Amino acid sequence: MLDGLQRLGQAGLRFFERLGRGHILFYYILAGIPSVLVRPRLLLQQVYSVGVLSLLIIVVSGLFVGMVLGLQGYNTLVDFGAEESLGTVVALSLVRELGPVVTALLFAGRAGSALTAEIGLMKATEQLSGMEMMAVDPIKRVLSPRFLAGFISMPLLAAIFSAVGVMGGYFVGVGLLGVDEGAYWSQIQASVDFDDDIINGVIKSLVFGVVAGWIAIYEGYDAIPTSEGVSRATTRTVVHTSLAVLGLDFILTALMFGEN
Amino acid sequence: MPQSDTPPLVEIRGLRFSRGSRMIFDGVDLDIPRGKITAIMGPSGTGKTTLLKLIGGQLRPQAGSIRVDGKEVHKLSRDRLYALRKQMGLLFQSGALLTDLDVFENVAFPLREHTDLPETMLRDLVLMKLQAVGLRGARHLMPSELSGGMARRVALARAIALDPMMIMYDEPFTGQDPISMGVLVKLIRQLNDALGLSSIVVSHDVAETVAISDYVYLLSGGKVVAHGTPDELGGDQSEWARQFLEGLPDGPVPFHYQARDFAEDLMAGTEGGRE
Ligand SMILES: Nc1ncnc2c1ncn2[C@@H]1O[C@H](COP(=O)(O)OP(=O)(O)OP(=O)(O)O)[C@@H](O)[C@H]1O
Ligand SMILES: [Mg+2]
C-alpha cells in the first residue's frame, strides 16, 4: 500500500520534473530564434529537411483522404438529393479538421521522429558536447532552427494537404460519380469562409507546429544517450505528439466552432 | 606542485565530484603550468575525462574551485564561459566530429561560427590545419568514412582551428599506428612550443606521454597519488608510481571496478540472489 503510494509519488515527481525541463528548454529554444533569423541559410536547410522532404507523404495522403471524402460524402448526400453540396463537405472537413490534424500526425511520424533520432544521436556521440566546448551553443545552432522550420512548415504542409484533398474529392465526385463540376467549385467558394475556416485552420496548424516541434526536439535533447534511449525517445515523440495533437484539436475546435 | 613564478594556467583546489553515490574526485589539488605539457595519467575509470569536462565547465563540481587563466570557471556567466571556451581546445576521446559535415567543414566549423573570414582565407587556414595532421587529402571524406585514428586527427585539427591558448587532449594516441603516433607526439610538442600553447595530455600510453610531458600527475581513487617531472617520477619509489609506470598487475591500484568479494559474489548465485 505504502509502496504503491510511494511509487505513484515518484512517477508524479518524475513527470513534473520532465515537464519543467521541457518548459525551460522551450524558453531557451525561443530565446535562440533571433539568432536563427540572421542566418537564413541554417533555417533554409532545416525547412528543406523538415518540410520539403515531408511533401511526398503529405501529397499522397492528402489525395487519398480527399478521394475517400468524395466517395463517402457522395454516398451520404445522394440519399438526400444533396450531392451538389459535395464540394462543401470535402472542403470544410479538410480545411477545418483533417488538413491540420492529419498533417500534424504525418509530420510526427515523418519529421518529428527524424528530429528526435538526429538530436538524440548527436547527443549520444558527443557532438552537442563538442559544440559546447567550441563555444557554440547547440540550442541556438541545432535546436532553434529545427523548431522554427517545423513551425513554418506545418501550416504550409497543411495547406497543401487540403488543396490536394480538394482535388482528390473533385476526381472522385466530379470525375467518377458525375457531380456537376460548376456546382462543386461554386459550393466551395460559397461555403468556405476566410476568417472562420481558413484562418482557424491555420491557427490550428501553427499550434500543432509548436507542439510537434517542441516534443520532438525535447525528446531528442533529453534522450538517454544510448541506442536504446534514442529509440525509446523516438517512439515517445510519435506517441506523445499524436496524443497532444488530437487532444488539442478537440480543445481548439470547441473554442473556435463551439458557439455555432 | 610544479615550481614557477607565473601563476598557473589552471588551478584546481579541493575538487570534489561524485556521480550518484560514487565519489570520483575527493579533494584534488592540481596545477597546470603555462607553456608546458602536463600529463594526467591514471587507471581507466578514475575520472580523467571527467576532469577535462570539469575544467571545460561542462560539469559542475560539488565543492572546490577550478580557475582557468585566473577566472573561476563555475562562477562565470554563460557568455564569459563561452568566451573562455574559445581559448580552450578539447580533443574528445571519441572525436565528436559533426557527422553531417565533411572533414573540411568540420575543421572550418569553429571558424565559420566565430569569425567572418573571407572564404579564401578560411580555406587556407583549414588546409594548413589539415596539413599539420596529415589529412589534407582526406578533406572531402565524411566522418563515417574515417578510421578511428583518422577521426581523432581531424578532431585535433578542429581543436587547434581557433588557435586556443590551451589544448586538452583526451587519449590522443589510442588507435594510432606507430607512424602517426610518432607524428602526433611530435605535433603536440611542436604546437606547444611554436604557438606557446599549454597542453594537457590524458593518456594511458605511459612511454609516449612521459617522453613528451614536462610534468606528470598520477590520479587514482579520486586523489592525486603522485606528481612530478618525468625524472622525479622515475626515481619515485612509491608503490603507486611504480605500479602504474611499469604496468604491474599487482599493487595498490586495483584493476577491478569496486565490487564485493568474488567468492561471496559467486556463492550468492546459488541462493538465486541477484540483488
Ligand atoms: N554519464 C555518466 N553517468 C554516470 N557515471 C559516469 C558517467 N560518465 C562517467 N561515469 C563514471 O565516472 C567514472 C570516471 O569516468 P571517466 O570517463 O572520467 O574515466 P576515465 O578516467 O576517462 O577513463 P578512461 O581512461 O577509460 O577513458 C567512471 O567510473 C564512470 O563509471
Ligand atoms: Mg576517458
pLDDT in tens, B171-180: 888 777 888 7
B86–chain A Cβ distance below 8 A for any pair? yes
Q: Which residues pair with B18 in a beta bridge?
A: B23
> pLDDT at position A161, please?
95
Q: Name the more confident of B267 and B128.
A: B128
pLDDT, tens only, A76-99? 888 888 888 889 999 999 999 999
From the list B83, B85, B113, the residue facing A133 with the nearest CB is B85
From the list B90, B94, B113, the residue facing A133 with the nearest CB is B90
Q: According to DSSP H, which parts of chain B are helical? A: 48-55, 78-85, 103-114, 119-132, 148-159, 178-194, 206-212, 230-235, 239-246, 262-270
pLDDT, tens only, B59-107? 888 888 898 888 888 888 888 999 899 888 888 888 889 998 999 999 9
Q: Is the dihedral of CA A164, A165, A166, A172 positive or negative?
A: positive
> pLDDT at position B95, please?
80
Reference B47, options B229, B245, B252, B225; nearest CA is B225
- Quote the ligand 1 centre to B46 CA distance (angstroms): 7
Asked if residues B221 and B32 have their Cβ atoms less than 8 Å apart, the reply is no
> Which helix (H) or strand (E) is B225 found in, with range?
strand B223-228
- Quote the ligand 1 centre to B50 CA distance (angstroms): 6
Q: Which residues, at least 6 apart from A108, have a Cβ–Cβ distance to it below 8 Å?
A: A212, A215, A216, A237, A238, A241, A242, A245
Q: Which residue in the block uniquely carries the three cell numbers 506517441? A: A239
From the list B94, B99, B110, the residue facing A134 with the nearest CB is B110
> pLDDT at position B7, please?
81
pLDDT, tens only, B133-154? 888 888 899 998 988 888 888 9
Nearest-angstrom CA–CA distance, B42 and B36: 20
Nearest-angstrom CA–CA distance, B135 and B130: 5
For the cut 80, the answer to whether the pLDDT of residue A60 exceeds it is: yes
Query: Residues B104-113: what's their mean pLDDT?
Result: 92
B114, HSE (Cβ side, Cα atoms, 13 Å): 22
> pLDDT at position A232, please?
94
Q: Which residue in the block uniquely carries the three cell numbers 445522394? A: A78
Task: Give nearest CA residue, ligand 1 atom 22.
Answer: B49
For residue B264, give how far its alpha carbon lies from the nearest alpha carbon of chain A (Å).
30
pLDDT, tens only, A178-207? 888 898 999 898 888 888 889 999 999 999
Q: Which residue in the block uniquely carries the three cell numbers 460519380? A: A177
What's the distance, Cα to Cα, between the start and end of chain B in Å? 44
Query: Residues B219-245: what's their mean pLDDT?
Result: 76
Reference B139, options B147, B152, B148, B130; nearest CA is B130
Q: What are phi and psi of A105, to 5 degrees?
A: -65, -45
Per-chain mean pLDDT for chain A? 91
Q: Please classify residue B121 by burial: count the beta carbons closer than 10 Å to its beta carbon, then call 0-12 exposed, 13-18 middle and 19+ buried.
A: exposed
B96–chain A Cβ distance below 8 A for any pair? yes
Indicate the pTM of the whole model: 0.86
> pLDDT at position B255, please?
66
Whole-angstrom CA distances from B95 to A194, B40, B48, B103, B168 are: 54, 19, 16, 12, 12
B113–chain A Cβ distance below 8 A for any pair? yes
A74, HSE (Cβ side, Cα atoms, 13 Å): 20
> pLDDT at position A107, please?
94
- Test A135 with B58 for CB contact under 8 angstroms: no
Q: Residue A76 corresponds to which cell in the numbers above? A: 451520404
Q: Please classify residue A254 by burial: count the beta carbons closer than 10 Å to its beta carbon, then call 0-12 exposed, 13-18 middle and 19+ buried.
A: exposed
> pLDDT at position B148, please?
80
pLDDT, tens only, A130-171? 999 898 999 999 999 999 999 999 999 999 999 999 999 999
Beta-carbon count within 10 A of B85 CB: 23
Nearest-angstrom CA–CA distance, A69 and A64: 8
B101–chain A Cβ distance below 8 A for any pair? no
pLDDT, tens only, B20-70? 888 888 888 888 888 889 999 888 888 888 999 999 888 888 888 898 888
ipTM, interface predicted TM-score of the complex? 0.80
pLDDT band at A72 (very low <50, low <70, confident <90, very high): very high
- Cα radius of gyration (chain B): 20
* Strand B198-202 with B37-41, pairing: parallel
For residue A141, give how far its alpha carbon lies from the nearest alpha carbon of chain B (Å).
9
Q: Name the more confident of B256 and A233.
A: A233
Q: Which residues line ligand 1 (CB under 6 A)?
A: B 19, 24, 44-50, 93
Nearest-angstrom CA–CA distance, A228 and A52: 29
pLDDT band at B238 (very low <50, low <70, confident <90, very high): low
Q: Please classify residue B251 by burial: count the beta carbons closer than 10 Å to its beta carbon, then call 0-12 exposed, 13-18 middle and 19+ buried.
A: middle
Q: Is the dihedral of CA B83, B88, B91, B93 positive or negative?
A: negative
> pLDDT at position A248, please?
94
Q: Is the dihedral of CA B139, B140, B142, B148 positive or negative?
A: negative
B121–chain A Cβ distance below 8 A for any pair? no
- Test A132 with B94 for CB contact under 8 angstroms: no
Asked if residues A135 and B86 have their Cβ atoms less than 8 Å apart, the reply is yes
Give buried/exposed letters for A9-44 (b at 16+ CB in 10 A, else e).
Answer: eeeeeeeeeeeeebeebbeebeebeeebeeeeebbe
Q: Which residues pair with B72 in a beta bridge?
A: B67
For the cut 90, the answer to whether the pLDDT of residue B189 exceeds it is: no
> pLDDT at position A260, please?
55
For residue A135, give how far its alpha carbon lies from the nearest alpha carbon of chain B (Å).
5
**Which residues 176-235 in chain B show a CB within 8 A of chain A?**
none
Asked if residues A230 and A120 have their Cβ atoms less than 8 Å apart, the reply is yes
> pLDDT at position A118, please?
94
Query: Residues A106-134: what's their mean pLDDT?
Result: 93
For the cut 80, the answer to whether the pLDDT of residue B5 exceeds it is: no
CA–CA–CA angle A34, B60, A33 (5° rounding): 5
Q: Is B131 left (phi over 0), alpha (psi -120 to 50) or beta?
A: alpha
